[in-house]
């Protein structure tokens, strides 16, 4: 039987529209990876009656109750005393928790205060879960066939506790099977087209394997999951299945797992000890921002010229006035001149460029908002490609930047 879970998020700030609850979203994604079904999510305020009622209702519905928030050291943090009340136990000092908190403070050269000592007092029936990055320990309860877990609401503390302790413990307790995930990351194809392309293969997968499409803006992740008893076997099976389908989708696959397209192009450049320069018009710096969001990008990324004004395109990027006049600033000719121009200007091995109409104004019948040219140039080839991203400004900027990174991936790897 698939175990069911309920997530309870506690905190007034979640009900006033102040804080967006990303915790329960992240937790549901992780539980899904572990084949645990989330049955309900409940968000409530810092209110005794409500919290106790939510505990009881959740316990009646689910095998696992995951609670975030309300573990801080102040008076409005009620989760810990109410868990003690709910289970009818006392708070007792957990010496190991106190040592862990003291160690954290020592590391930051700060004194442990009375408030922090209080944070080491936990309900008598719980198992302490180490919080390696904060002063509120996690708690694990198992009563009446239901697991209760309480974690801080600070996202990076909750994530560490889940990853280091809670998910392995849940897998040990509920995992009849070993679960192996393999994530294939694609770009340049929509979810429905990808689905059409691999439908036969998907239908032919053995029963203990399943495929999930996880689309994000401009990309589709494929998650291939295998369940069984031996990890080695599962890994081999997943590998074999990927080999079967890879030839059909290889054009769109840029990476695996947590890899990002902006990181992948960096790896390609580092491998060849080459450098990149960028010329942007409609993306206005966003393409450079994606590239430089990768730590260590200074190794291969020399710089960008954002040429918003036509005179900057002409003065800095080899764009000819005649081309702008004849073809317009959003054209194949201008995109190519920009890509070649930035390469010469910054003396890089490769140049990529974007020019387009991000809107909301500036469109015409011939070139509506969303018309975009991107270009790639290296010592062997220079090529430009046209796109139509007919959506809002933010979307057009994002998709154009992704398309430029993808053009780099396809053309640079083709050598």
Please give the residue ranges that form the binding site for a second copy (CB under 8 A): 14-18, 20-22, 24-32, 37-45, 50, 214, 275, 278, 280, 283-289, 291-293, 295-298, 301-309, 311-312, 316, 345-347, 358-362, 393-394, 397
Q: Give 37 or 169: the residue with its C-beta nearer to a second copy.
A: 37
Q: Cα dist. 232→174, 181, 236 in Å?
A: 21, 13, 6
Angle at Cα 147 formed by Cα 145 and Cα 148, nearest 5°? Answer: 135
Shortest approach of a second copy to residue 360 CB, angstroms?
5
Question: DSSP characters for 81-115?
Answer: HHHHHHHT--EEE-HHHHHHHHHHHHHTT-PPPHH
Tell me how far, at minimum, the Cβ of 6 lies from a second copy, in Å. 10
Specify burial of residue 345 (Cβ count, 10 A radius: 0-12, 13-18, 19+): middle
Least distance in angstroms from the C-beta of 146 to a second copy: 18
> Least separation, in Å, of the C-beta of 334 and a second copy?
14
In the complex, minimum distance from the CB of residue 9 to a second copy, in angstroms, rounded to a whole number:
8
Decide whether 94 or 186 has the Cβ nearer to a second copy.
Answer: 186
Least distance to a second copy from the beta carbon of 83, Å? 19
Q: What is the CA radius of gyration of the chain?
A: 27
- Kindly write down the DSSP assignment for every residue of 226-237, as one continuous string: EEES-HHHHHHH
Q: Which is nearer to a second copy, 100 or 316 (CB)?
A: 316
Burial 127-166 (b: 16+ CB within 10 A, else e): ebbebeebbbbbbbbeeeebbbbbbbbbeebbbbbbebbb
Q: How far apart are CA 174 and CA 382, in angstroms?
A: 56
For the bound state, the minimum distance from the C-beta of residue 115 to a second copy, rounded and expressed in Å, comes to: 18
User: Nearer Cβ to a second copy, position 33 or 100?
Assistant: 33
Please give the Cα distance from 6 to 4 (Å, whole number): 7
Burial class (CB within 10 angstroms; exposed 0-12, middle 13-18, buried 19+) of 37: middle
Nearer to a second copy, 94 or 219 (CB): 219
């Amino acid at each position: 039987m698939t175990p069911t879970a309920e997530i309870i998020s506690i905190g007034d700030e979640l009900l006033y529209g102040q804080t967006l609850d990303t915790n329960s979203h992240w937790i549901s994604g992780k539980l899904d990876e572990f084949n645990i079904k989330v049955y309900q999510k409940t968000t409530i305020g810092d209110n005794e009656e409500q919290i106790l009622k939510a505990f009881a209702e959740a316990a009646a519905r689910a095998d696992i109750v995951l609670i975030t928030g309300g573990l801080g050291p102040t008076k409005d943090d009620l989760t810990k005393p109410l868990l003690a009340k709910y289970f009818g136990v006392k708070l007792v000092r957990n010496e190991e928790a106190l040592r862990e908190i003291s160690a954290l403070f020592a590391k930051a050269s700060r004194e442990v205060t009375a408030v922090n000592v209080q944070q080491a007092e936990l309900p008598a029936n719980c198992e302490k879960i180490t919080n390696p990055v904060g002063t509120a320990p996690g708690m694990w309860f198992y009563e009446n066939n239901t697991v209760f877990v309480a974690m801080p609401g600070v996202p990076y503390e909750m994530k560490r506790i889940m990853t280091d302790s809670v998910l392995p413990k849940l897998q040990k307790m509920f995992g009849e099977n070993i679960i192996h995930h393999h994530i294939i990351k694609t770009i340049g194809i929509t979810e429905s087209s990808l689905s059409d392309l691999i439908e036969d293969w998907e239908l032919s997968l053995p029963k203990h394997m399943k495929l999930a499409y996880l689309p994000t803006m401009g990309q589709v992740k494929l998650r291939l999951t295998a369940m069984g008893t031996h990890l080695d076997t599962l890994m081999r099976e997943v590998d074999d299945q990927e080999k079967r389908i890879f030839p059909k989708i290889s054009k769109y696959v840029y990476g695996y797992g947590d890899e990002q397209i902006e990181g992948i192009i960096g790896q390609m450049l580092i491998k060849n000890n080459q450098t990149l320069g960028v010329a942007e018009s409609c993306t206005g710096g966003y393409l450079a921002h994606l590239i430089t969001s990768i730590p260590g990008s200074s190794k291969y990324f020399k710089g960008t010229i954002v040429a918003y004004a036509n005179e900057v395109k002409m003065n800095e990027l080899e764009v000819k006035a005649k081309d702008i006049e004849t073809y317009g600033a959003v054209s194949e000719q201008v995109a190519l001149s920009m890509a070649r121009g930035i390469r010469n200007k910054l003396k890089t091995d490769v140049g990529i460029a974007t020019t387009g109409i991000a809107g909301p104004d500036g469109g015409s019948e011939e070139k509506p908002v969303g018309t975009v040219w991107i270009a790639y140039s290296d010592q062997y080839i220079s090529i430009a490609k046209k796109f139509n991203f007919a959506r809002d400004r933010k979307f057009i900027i994002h998709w154009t930047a992704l398309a430029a990174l993808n053009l780099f991936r396809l053309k640079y790897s083709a050598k």
